[in-house]
Amino acid sequence: MKKNKVFTFSLTVTTLLTTMQLFTAPAQANFGDFLLGVGATLGVGAIVEGNRQDAERRYRPVPPREEYFRGIQDGVNGANYDNPRNSLDYDRGYEEGIRRRRR
CB atoms closer than 10 angstroms to residue 67: 21
Four-point Cα dihedral 64, 67, 68, 71, nearest 10? -160
Q: Tell me the pLDDT tens digit for each residue of 33-90.
A: 888 888 888 888 889 898 888 888 888 888 999 999 999 999 999 999 999 999 999 9
Whether 1 shows a pLDDT value over 60: the answer reads no
Q: Tell me the pLDDT tens digit for each residue of 21-36.
A: 666 666 677 887 888 8
The predicted pLDDT at position 64 comes to 93
Domain ranges of the chain: 57-103
The structure's pTM equals 0.52
